[in-house]
């Protein structure tokens, strides 16, 4: 046999053995990786199971559900009391409205007064946001008894009630800069300072109708600046 041929054959056999060994090692590595992944997955599932059975987490979850349920019930009760919208009431309904809720904002207005319409716009925007406070309005011409009883001389007049007792009032726009172009936010901050509404989380101006108006925009005042008073 040709020595070169024998050498070539032996060399090929050796190369083949190397490839075979490499293939076995590669297959073994794949099997080991698969076992490792399966084991990791199993451990992960066990950890999740243990987590789901954690009594502290179950209590936190139950407490959260209970809090959400209580909040939903509270919101429904407020709506039954007439909260969440800016409503007009009659003189006959007035006492029941202001004594039926802990916090009430009542706007005494005149239909023809321009400044009363401005106040209407801002109160209407705030009513759906501050659900814990009732927002109502009463036509001054149709409520002579309460106008006299509460000593209302200038309109618009916004009276703040707590548990049926008048605790504070906004007369005209004197607490709002004395001008017609005040923002809803400014009125909200004033009512917040007076404690008749609760603060909101974060800055949610965009959620209030009218907040997106250009603040440089001026609302034209009435032709007769003294027309909004009795």
74 upstream amide cis, omega within 30 of 0: no
103-109 and 157-162 beta bridge pairing: antiparallel
Over residues 3-49, the pLDDT tens digits come to 555 455 545 555 556 556 666 666 677 667 766 665 555 555 556 56
Q: CA-CA distance, 102 to 78, in Å (whole number)?
A: 10
Span of 124-128, 143-147, 195-199, 200-204 with lowest mean pLDDT: 200-204
Q: CA-CA distance, 123 to 137, in Å (whole number)?
A: 9
Over residues 137-147, the pLDDT tens digits come to 999 999 999 99
């Amino acid at each position: 046999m040709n020595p070169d041929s024998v050498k070539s054959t032996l060399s090929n056999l050796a190369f083949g053995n190397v490839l075979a060994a490499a293939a076995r090692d590669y297959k073994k590595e794949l099997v080991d990786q698969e076992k490792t992944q399966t084991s990791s997955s199993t451990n992960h599932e066990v950890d999740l199971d243990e987590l789901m059975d954690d009594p502290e987490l179950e209590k936190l979850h139950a407490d959260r559900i209970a809090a959400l349920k209580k909040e939903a019930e509270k919101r429904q009760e407020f709506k039954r009391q007439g909260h969440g919208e800016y409503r007009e009431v009659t003189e006959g309904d007035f006492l029941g409205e202001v004594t039926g809720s802990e916090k009430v904002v009542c706007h005494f207005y005149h239909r023809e007064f321009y400044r009363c319409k401005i106040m209407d716009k801002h109160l209407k925007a705030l009513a759906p946001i501050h659900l814990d406070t009732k927002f109502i309005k009463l036509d001054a011409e149709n409520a002579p008894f309460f106008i006299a009883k509460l000593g209302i001389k200038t309109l618009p007049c916004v009276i703040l009630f707590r548990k049926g007792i008048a605790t504070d009032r906004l007369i005209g726009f004197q607490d709002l800069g004395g001008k017609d172009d005040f923002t809803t936010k400014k009125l909200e901050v004033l009512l917040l300072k007076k404690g008749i509404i609760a603060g909101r989380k974060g800055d949610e101006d965009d959620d209030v109708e009218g907040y997106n108006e250009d603040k440089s925009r001026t609302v034209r005042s009435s032709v007769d600046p003294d027309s909004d008073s009795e």
